[in-house]
């Protein structure tokens, strides 16, 4: 009889404790609303098209609908020089070599771009968030060519050697640019994100135009 009373009391106590624990257990926390407002990330990429170089920049996005964001992308590609730039520079160096010794040259075509557009996220999961994006803006294309004679830079004094560089080897132009791309965002840790991305851009220059492909990664935070 005493054993039965003890067992019954124990059962009632366990039942009461279970009810208290159930009442005190909080619901699963939902993601903070602030983490869905947007993102900012630094971008490091390999740029290729006419030549292979590096590109870097900053991207900022703001969420306007659950699957839709607007973004701004500011970046710089170190070199996009076409083969024609090297050919023209080689012609100048060859002409200088007729009267000067040890003539060398370097030639690059950096591009700085300012883009904006929309980014659409689809099929998101806790582990990966793929997206597509597109937009446009402006790009500044600069001809960065220099000439040296016996190790001394003579680019600024070329007229004294009878050479005046044309627009194919000097100056800069600002032209419209469009961009499209795809990517996938990995929520790495709390608000830290890693953005694996590919971007294709077209700069509408006055000559043959310029294609700029960028593959890389963005590392940033959500806010």
Look up the CATH number of the domain holding residue 43: 2.40.160.20
Q: How confident is the model at residue 208 (pLDDT cuts 50, 70, 90)?
A: confident
Residue 146 counted as domain residue: yes
pLDDT at residue 212, as a whole number: 97
| Inside any domain, residue 218 | yes
Residue 39 within a domain: yes
Q: Is pLDDT at 50 greater than 50 in this prediction?
A: yes
Residue 38 lies in a domain: yes
Local confidence band at 10 (pLDDT 50, 70, 90 cut-offs)? very low
- 85 burial (CB, 10 Å; 0-12 / 13-18 / 19+) is buried
The count of domains in the chain is 1
| Residue 134 pLDDT greater than 90, yes or no | yes
Residue 196, in any domain of the structure = yes
Domain containing 160: what range?
A: 32-222
Domain membership of residue 2 (yes or no) is no
Q: Tell me the pLDDT tens digit for each residue of 159-189.
A: 999 999 999 999 999 999 999 999 999 999 9
pTM of the model: 0.81
pLDDT for 126 beyond 80: no
14 assigned to some structural domain: no
Q: Is residue 155 part of a domain?
A: yes
pLDDT of residue 52: 96
Q: Identify the pLDDT of residue 14.
A: 36
Note the pLDDT tens digit of each residue in 73-84: 999 999 999 999
């Amino acid at each position: 009889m005493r054993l039965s009373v003890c067992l019954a009391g124990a059962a009632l106590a366990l039942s009461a404790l279970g009810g208290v624990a159930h009442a005190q257990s909080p619901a699963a926390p939902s993601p903070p609303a602030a983490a869905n407002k947007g993102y900012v990330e630094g971008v490091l990429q390999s740029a290729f098209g006419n030549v292979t170089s590096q590109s870097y920049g900053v991207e900022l996005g703001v969420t306007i609908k659950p699957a839709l964001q607007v973004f701004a992308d500011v970046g710089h590609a170190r070199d996009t020089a076409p083969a024609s730039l090297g050919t023209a520079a080689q012609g100048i160096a060859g002409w200088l070599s007729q009267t000067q010794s040890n003539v060398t040259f370097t030639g690059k075509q950096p591009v700085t771009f300012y883009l904006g557009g929309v980014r659409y996220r689809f099929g998101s999961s806790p582990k990966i968030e793929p997206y597509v994006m597109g937009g446009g803006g402006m790009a500044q294309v600069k001809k960065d060519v220099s000439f040296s004679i016996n190790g001394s830079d003579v680019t600024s004094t070329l007229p004294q050697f009878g050479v005046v560089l044309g627009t194919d080897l000097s100056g800069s132009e600002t032209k419209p640019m469009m961009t499209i791309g795809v990517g996938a965002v990995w929520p790495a840790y709390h608000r830290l994100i890693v953005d694996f991305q590919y971007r294709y851009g077209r700069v509408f220059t006055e000559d043959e135009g310029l294609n700029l492909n960028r593959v890389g990664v963005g590392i940033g935070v959500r806010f």
